[in-house]
Chains A and B, each alone.
Chain A
Amino acid sequence: MIINLRIWRQEGPDSPGKLADYTVREASEHMSFLELLDVLNEQLLADGDDPVEFDSDCREGICGSCGLMVAGIAHGPQKRTAVCQLHMRSFKDGDTITVEPFRAHAFPVIRDLVVDRSAFDRIIAAHGYVSVTTGSAPDANAIPIPKDAAEEAMDYAACIGCGACVAACPNGSASLFTAAKIAHLAQLPQGQVEASQRVMAMVDQMDVEGFGDCSNYTECEAVCPKGISVDGIASMRRAYMKGVLSG
């Protein structure tokens, strides 16, 4: 199949960028979208042009490295699928597909489609953990945890930190990412000890990083490759208010 691409090219964080047009003639419906970009890059390289830079690593939808706006949607049109597992059979021969980086003030562009998502790491460092040092843990079965709680914790813990939630949010909010970690740990007795400090610190960090507010558009849930529910955001807000009220 033949695929036309309109790809965002940008030299660096401070340079202006623009969309450039490319055509890949040897696309196959069995290719992943990133493999299509690989083929384009080989083509550019052979022609002496600069390849399009983009991040990717595991290419099986779990590391969260990849993240592109494909045809206007974070990770592309297929639900619950990171762009590395989006296959070209989702498109038609002759389609023109626009590809842009994840855009947010807190995700500055490094080059082309590569962005800096270290803001997420700082949100986790703000308190997205249980303060337990190595060796101090009690026996793993010392505290029973209801199966449902463990399952719900896992639903939120499945977040891959790709940033699609921010990219898709009309406000550029990081609420789903932040809430997923808070909701994951809030389900477990191990996480409840520091629940208040955690939620306050992480929410504040989200603000410091310059993410927007959540207007409950829930575009984030729709693009999340792991289908993380916005119910987590409600849970984060409950925990926050509880934290404020308990001083």
Chain B
Amino acid sequence: MKFLDDDLRGRVGLWLWRFWAMMLKELIQLGRDSLLVFAITYLFLFDVYMAGNVGMNLKNAVVTVHDADHSAASRELIYRFQPPYFKLGGEMADGRAGQRLLDTGEALVVLDIPPRFEHDIQSGKPTAVQVQVDAANTVLGFLAASYSAQIIGQYGFDQALARLGVSASALENVPMIRDEHRVWYNPNQKDAWFMPLSELLVVITIMAIMLPAAAAVREKERGTIEQLLVTPLSPIQILLPKVVAMTLVILLGTAASILLVLHGVFDFPMKGSLALFFTVTALYAFTTSGLGIFISTLARNLAQAALLAILVLLPMIFLSGAWTPPEAMPAGLREAMVLSPLYYFIEMGYGILLKGAGLDILWDSLLGLALLGMTIFGLGVWRFRRQFG
């Protein structure tokens, strides 16, 4: 009596045959889960696309004016607040109304021009205008304040020159420092390059944790793991096909995102080797799945798994440099960044795709990712084997 067919006698052949069966099963199941397919499509395509359209730029900030002077000078100053940064939101009769508009969020900037503004300028007396800025959103508030200061300063400078009767060309003889900076890697400082790439790397992270966690916890929730445990499959043989299948799905999603969104919509430069980028992504997705596996051993159902995933994801993203540059972190947290695999992945993702860097420069990040990733994966596998071994 024989229990195995002859051509599967070899243990390696049998192992691969089972691996193939399990991986196929994972892909079929994923394909049937329309909600998950929707989430994958949405995150890899639309979410990345949207990230390219919302930047931290000052755009059409509403400026409301209280002009107590109503003179040519005051009008000129007001009209220097121009799109795309500013938009005039009309005039108020009363200075105190400005406070209310800031409170309700109807205006971001309130410009208050005092009476006798023109008269004072023309008579050479010092004068002042008041600018109130809503800095509830600190970035926007900071940008609005500094742009306003620049506009008003330039206006004062122009007025001073005019009053001295000096033409702009005469300034060439005045000693001045000209600021000639160069911006590298993203010369136009396009948010539409930086933001979608950053978002894509975060989406890869979410998927690398959530997909294997969902696949593993679903088996627990529906009791199918019991059936697998009485088959000759070892825990590794149950686990590995899941991780490989989900890594494949992530690579596919990444390829679609880069081709359709980064390249297709935003005309991303794509400086470095795509092969290197996909290799790094595969390594990252595979090893980070260890966190998902770990979560699946703790959670009893999908809802718990999702909650735990958020708990893991938030510090991981926070410590990665995706939202805050490392230099801006306080000392303790900056050191903790080496514990976030996403930190290395972002280093390498930016390095390869934006700067065109190769392994000669990025080897240390790769080493860090490999070591950290293997530790995480090992932890997940250890927990899984302990639970189901």
Do the two chains bind?
no
List chain B positions with a Cβ less than 8 A from chain A. Answer: none
